[in-house]
Amino acid sequence: MTDNIPLQPVRQKKRMDSRPRAGCCEWLRCCGAGEPRPRTVWLGHPEKRDQRYPRNVINNQKYNFFTFLPGVLFNQFKYFFNLYFLLLACSQFVPEMRLGALYTYWVPLGFVLAVTIIREAVEEIRCYLRDKEVNSQVYSRLTARGTVKVKSCSIQVGDLIIVEKNQRVPADMIFLRTSEKNGSCFLRTDQLDGETDWKLRLPVACTQRLPTAADLLQIRSYVYAEEPNIDIHNFVGTFTREDSDPPISESLSIENTLWAGTVIASGTVVGVVLYTGRELRSVMNTSNPRSKIGLFDLEVNCLTKILFGALVVVSLVMVALQHFAGRWYLQIIRFLLLFSNIIPISLRVNLDMGKIVYSWVIRRDSKIPGTVVRSSTIPEQLGRISYLLTDKTGTLTQNEMVFKRLHLGTVAYGLDSMDEVQSHIFSIYTQQPQDPPAQKGPALTTKVRRTMSSRVHEAVKAIALCHNVTPVYESNGVTDQAEAEKQYEDSCRVYQASSPDEVALVQWTESVGLTLVGRDQSSMQLRTPGDQILNFTILQIFPFTYESKRMGIIVRDESTGEITFYMKGADVVMAGIVQYNDWLEEECGNMAREGLRVLVVAKKSLAEEQYQDFEARYVQAKLSVHDRSLKVATVIESLEMEMELLCLTGVEDQLQADVRPTLETLRNAGIKVWMLTGDKLETATCTAKNAHLVTRNQDIHIFRLVTNRGEAHLELNAFRRKHDCALVISGDSLEVCLKYYEYEFMELACQCPAVVCCRCAPTQKAQIVRLLQERTGKLTCAVGDGGNDVSMIQESDCGVGVEGKAVFSSVFYFASVPLYQGFLIIGYSTIYTMFPVFSLVLDKDVKSEVAMLYPELYKDLLKGRPLSYKTFLIWVLISIYQGSTIMYGALLLFESEFVHIVAISFTSLILTELLMVALTIQTWHWLMTVAELLSLACYIASLVFLHEFIDVYFIATLSFLWKVSVITLVSCLPLYVLKYLRRRFSPPSYSKLTS
């Protein structure tokens, strides 16, 4: 088959900033802690431990007190650019190699190092303070002496910790008790897995039945837990109580866990600590912080090597012209030192200062208020980004689902017509006795109205009952106030659920008149517009799963005794469950194209005998030992036939402001956007459409779930036949593809206009970023708002968290003696030329408004032309021309004394430097003018103190002035002419926008 993907081995490419990527388990083995092992944890007795456990300390710093200085210096000098200047300065301690005073070389280098060390120190201190704030959070610990306060960093494995509502869980724990009357609690996990869904957690039944929390210390019990690992969605363990007769054992799963980083959303909970410190699930899913080096720095480092190679060649030529006489090897080193200014240390100073200015400008940008720059070493990376990888929840969206559409087949209600739905509900519960049927006209109209009202009522009632939402009443921050709950006060009620979709639906039914006011494990209460309370008994509930894509509930109306089976789910599964209709598929497609997440709602009335038969078969299936899941599903499916289609609901996850125009701008700028989220496939797909990450004229290929090599091969071939098609893939399928077809998958994915990866684990997000960098060699930027995004942000090149002269020696008989000595060298590298070059950070090709209006201009930055080899070669040729002009011009025009050559050539050099900066500027800023004049003034003022090198009386003569003017003019005028001609006949792409 011609479109088959050839089976190729996975190829790895070494990165320039590579570092050990060992996970936590590998780190433990390397440090001698041994293999991670399962553990037995006694409740309330941390001293009864079978192994040593790490301290519960969060540390996101790159260095500690002892490694800071060596680490910073190593990160500076591991690159040739900085190492070159260090070796150059150290060479001056050898008398035979010294060319001038030590301060000539050590002062500039010391300044650069001081700036770097101070910058790194400030960033480390900020990181330390953030970690200290987290580690110092205070919690309550149950002890034999009662409740004591303890800092997060002092919590140990085996401690019984009390966590209040809205407090972050400090360590990985097993859920033992809750203050909630319904015997469960909800967690907010957005900082762990990126999902907005609140997760329902259940306490250990044995400990929840105890009279008080203090009784946890009176029983003899322990938890047996699996070894530490990175899986945040699964857990295997057991709870055992030994002092009962017989001993009680309970199986523990993910439902009984409280992972560190999650937030308690309801009630007060008590848990026993299982894992701490580096063994936490959240920490194991986070990569170690690393020092990032910008692409611009790498390019400068590469060009420095080229210049050094040229230095070596020129030095060898000089020695060869002397026929390698005498100690020629020493002469080579002296020439290398003499020509060392070809690689100016002022460039290092200007680069560091420029980065600081860029960071300051980002912090002060009025369009992005509150921005904090965490790293001031890579701000220029933002101008070279090719791939933007973003989280969904809280980054593209606001974590708020809004009900947008109710479709009944013959009529649809949008936000502008919800008052009609409200009137229908009101009429159902407040309608008056009907008039006698003598008046045919009005009676017919009333019948039609009642029919529509009945349909609307049935749909709203189904939505109000078919969910997993629990109303909780709060008063002054305290949950479950008895009076508030008794009176069902609207001002005190908040909804808790495992899905924001369900909360949006229940909030909508409240807005149209049918309010969920109470719920526990076995009952539910609704309030009508007439303040009547409707009571329902929950007979069975079938939760939503990723595989089934639907959820159902069976309730009994206490007032009528009617038993009804309600179900809602995705159209792909509900289409085969509901009765035949001719509008479901078409309307689902229309609503999906609007970016709405569509749910199909249906119902089925059950007779008492029919339900009793189902219940018997259902209980029997749940008691099965073999194929329990299959048998349970088969029994449920026996009810899912010929259900009555009630309505379609459409909800939308509210996008962040300006997301759509921003993504449009990025797309026009040539930046590809990948969305990596831990959310469900349907939600991620809807958000991608709604945010216009996928344009309306682009197809979407949903990569079906694959579990082995063969399935992955077939699905990749199917995807390969698509063109200009966005890709949506789940984390499980992605893992299989990367295992067997890493190269082929990345090759196809990189050709997509957009990629959406759903159900992504934090480590997978980081892996995708790393693969993009290795396969494409392009710069990546990662944007996220949660703890689950930290690894991705750290792995990316740029992370966003919602933060020449050398000609004199060849003239003077190839002697290795310097023309400019002492302060002249320092002055040229710093105050004489630094300010104008540094002021170039203020230069703009176009205004920011124009750049946002025409994002296509960004594509020029991706080409890297300002620092390409062609550009570098052009500037080398310009340097040779200007250096030769200045040197030979000074020789031709110099008078009787040597110092006159120094005066003429050095002054011409300074003026040429200032004019070349002016030649480079595209848009003048008043600070640029100040920098030019300030540098010139500094040079003129310093002439008074440079009488050792320059004849002060000579520079005051007319001869000096005209000679310097001629040399400078010959040096710069041809370049200005060439620049004019180039802009005249080959203008840059932005020139038309600035004219």
**Is 678 marked as binding a ligand?**
yes
pLDDT at 611: 93
On whether residue 560 sits in a domain, the answer given is: yes
Which residue, among 899, 877, 881, 897, has the nearest Cα to 889 in the 3D structure? 881
For the residues 309-316, what does the mean pLDDT come to? Answer: 86
Question: Is 923 a member of any domain?
Answer: yes
How far, in whole angstroms, is CA 469 from its chain's centroid? 30
CA R_g for the chain: 37
Same domain, 457 and 601: yes
In a domain, 291, yes or no: no
CB 814 within 8 A of CB 321: yes
Mean pLDDT to the nearest integer, 445-474: 80
715 and 662 co-located in one domain: yes
785 is in an annotated binding site: yes
| pLDDT range class, residue 809, cuts 50, 70, 90 | very low
CA distance 568 to 600: 5
Is 382 within a domain? Answer: no
Weakest-pLDDT range from 153-162, 581-590, 591-600: 591-600
Q: Does the annotation place 724 within a ligand binding site?
A: no
965 pLDDT tier (thresholds 50, 70, 90): confident
Domain end, chosen from 748, 767, 801, is at: 801
Q: Say if residue 909 is in the same domain as residue 964.
A: yes
Q: How far is CA 839 from CA 178, 379, 446, in A?
A: 62, 17, 79
Flag whether 298 is in a domain. no
State yes or no: pLDDT of 575 exceeds 60.
yes
Residue 732 in tokens? 């499980």
| Pair (532, 425) in one structural domain | yes
Q: Which of 197, 352, 391, 951 is catalytic?
A: 391
> Does residue 677 have a known ligand-binding role?
yes
**Are 314 and 307 within 8 A, CB to CB?**
no
Q: In this predicted model, what pLDDT tens digit does every residue of 84-103 receive, in sequence order?
A: 888 888 888 888 777 767 77
Asked whether the predicted pLDDT for residue 325 surpasses 60, the reply is yes
| pLDDT digit string, tens, across residues 113-130 | 887 888 788 888 888 888
Query: Which of 498, 390, 501, 362 shows the shortest CA–CA distance to 785?
Result: 390
Task: Supply the pLDDT for residue 272.
Answer: 93
For residue 178, give the amino acid letter: T
Distance CA 175, CA 256 (A): 5
Does 641 share its domain with 667? no
DSSP state for residue 825 in the 8-state scheme: H
**Mean pLDDT in the chain?**
79
- Using the predicted structure, report yes or no on whether residue 648 has a pLDDT greater than 90: yes
Q: Which of 337, 383, 384, 377 is nearest to 359 (CA)?
A: 377
* Residues spanned by the domain of 244: 155-285
- Does 679 count as an annotated binding residue? yes
Give the DSSP H or E segment for 634: helix 628-637
Q: What is the pLDDT of residues 202-249, one digit of tens each?
A: 899 889 988 888 889 888 999 999 899 888 877 888 899 988 878 888
Is 132 assigned a ligand-binding role in the annotation? no
Q: Last residue of a domain, which of 603, 621, 651? A: 651
Q: What percent of the chain has pLDDT over 90?
A: 21
Output phi, psi for 347, to 5 deg.
Answer: -65, -40
Among residues 726, 603, 714, the alpha carbon closest in space to that of 673 is found at 726
Same domain for 504 and 631, yes or no, is yes
- The label of the residue with tokens 């306490």 reads 203
Which alpha helices (H) appear in 512-581, and where do they start and end?
571-574
Q: Report whether 390 contacts 410 (CB < 8 A).
A: no
C-alpha to C-alpha distances, 667 to 613, 663, 752, nearest whole angstrom: 58, 6, 12
In this structure, are 758 and 628 located in the same domain?
A: no
For residue 626, CA distances in Å to 273, 462, 637 come to 34, 35, 19
Q: Are residues 704 and 851 in the same domain?
A: no
565 & 634 share domain: yes
pLDDT in tens, 15-32: 434 343 344 444 444 343
Identify which has the larger pLDDT, 196 or 440. Answer: 196
Structure tokens that stand for 40 in this block: 């037995």
Mean pLDDT score, 666-692? 83
User: Is 789 annotated as contributing to ligand binding?
Assistant: yes
The pLDDT score that the predictor gives to residue 817 is 41
What is the rounded average pLDDT of the residues 152-165?
Answer: 92
pLDDT of residue 440: 35
Average pLDDT over residues 881-892: 74
Residue 542, annotated ligand binder?
A: no
**935 Cβ partners below 8 Å, 6+ apart?**
831, 832, 833, 834, 835, 836, 910, 914
CA dist 606 and 629 (Å) reads 24
Best CA proximity match to 771, nearest among 10, 22, 4: 10
Please state the domain count of the chain: 5
> Which phi and psi angles does 438 have, rounded to 5°?
-70, -40
If asked whether residues 833 and 974 sit together in one domain, one would say: yes
- The answer to whether the annotation marks 778 as part of a ligand binding site is no
* Residues 742 and 643 placed together within one structural domain of the fold: no
Do the Cβ atoms of 669 and 698 come closer than 8 Å? no
Residues 768 and 683 grouped into a single domain? yes
Alpha-carbon gap, residue 110 to 828, rounded angstroms: 16
Residue-wise pLDDT for 707-744, tens only, equals 899 999 999 999 998 888 999 998 889 999 999 999 99
Instruction: Yes or no: say if 911 and 968 are a contact pair by the CB < 8 Å rule.
Output: yes
765 annotated binding-site participant: yes
Q: Residue 625: its pLDDT value, please?
A: 54
Distance CA 297, CA 16 (A): 12
759 annotated as ligand-binding: yes
Is residue 254's pLDDT more than 80?
A: yes
Q: How many CA atoms lie within 13 A of 822 on its CB side?
A: 8
In a domain, 628, yes or no: yes
131 is catalytic: no
Q: Which two tokens stand for residue 677?
A: 């989220």
User: Do 79 and 301 contact (CB within 8 A), yes or no?
Assistant: yes
- Indicate the pLDDT class of residue 749, thresholds 50, 70 and 90: very high
For residue 741, what pLDDT is reported? 92
Residue 590 is assigned to a ligand binding site = no
Give all strands of the β-sheet with 160-163 in edge-to-edge order.
Answer: 146-151, 138-143, 160-163, 269-275, 172-178, 257-258
Last residue of one domain, picked from the residues 651, 670, 700: 651
Tell me how far apart the alpha carbons of residues 788 and 773 are, in angstroms, rounded to a whole number.
20
Confirm whether residue 392 is marked as ligand binding: yes
Per-residue pLDDT at 186: 81
Q: Is the pLDDT of residue 2 over 50?
A: no
DSSP state of 4: P
Residue 964 domain-assigned? yes
Token pair 């003022």: residue: 941
Give residue 58's pLDDT. 85
Structure confidence at residue 26 (pLDDT): 42
The verdict on residue 67 lying in a domain is yes
Query: Residue 166 CB: number of other CB atoms within 10 A?
Result: 11
Cβ neighbors of 129 (< 8 A, separation 6 or more) are none
- For the four alpha carbons of 266, 505, 571 and 580, in that order, the dihedral sign comes to positive
Q: 72 near 116, Cβ under 8 Å? A: yes
| Single pTM value for the model | 0.63
Type and span of the H or E element at 423: helix 418-430
| Residue found under tokens 């907010």 | 188
Length of the chain: 995
